[in-house]
Copies of this chain bind each other. A is one copy, B any other.
């Protein structure tokens, strides 16, 4: 049996280490909360001493910053593509929800952190972009819902603001229980979720 093709490198290549640490940090932040997570804990899980983290990062804060902005960057790439596609209101909602669950699948930890911490973090100028993103998010959803009501594809008299809040929260809160590689693919979860929101769980009488 041939030896594994593990390269004879003694130490891991440089820029990957950052990403490793960041992934570790994201997991710990997601599991225990940003404030409750100590840099010593992150360092432990990354197999180094607390001080060594500061060779790679400026501060604990800049770690969450990097985690969250990377996630939001990818999220908006996906969202913008959907919003630019010229779909109908129902199809836009379907695409946004599906895209959201895909992001949860790919950035579970980041989404969980985002969901739990954005309100506290956004008070600092450095995290202004969290509020900005929230605003854009609201505009995209609210606009689509209103368009749908106007077009007669969503119920007349729908409280779009209330609906937006329900939909937004339910989607993101899924990051708190979703486990990648579990029974349901992101697309399957999106399908079920959309079926509930669009058509309800009650049998039509």
Contact = CB atoms under 8 A, between A and B. Distances in A.
Interface of A: 32-33, 35-36, 90, 116, 119-120, 145, 152-156, 158-159, 162-163, 165-166, 169-170, 173-174, 176-177, 184, 189, 192-193, 195-204
A192 B159 CA distance: 8
A154 to B, nearest CB: 5
Given A32-B120, A36-B35, A159-B192, A203 B166 contact: no
B199 A202 contact: yes
B165 A177 contact: yes
19 contacts: A33-B33, A90-B202, A155-B195, A156-B203, A158-B201, A162-B184, A162-B189, A163-B196, A163-B201, A166-B174, A169-B169, A169-B174, A196-B197, A196-B200, A197-B201, A199-B199, A199-B200, A199-B204, A204-B204
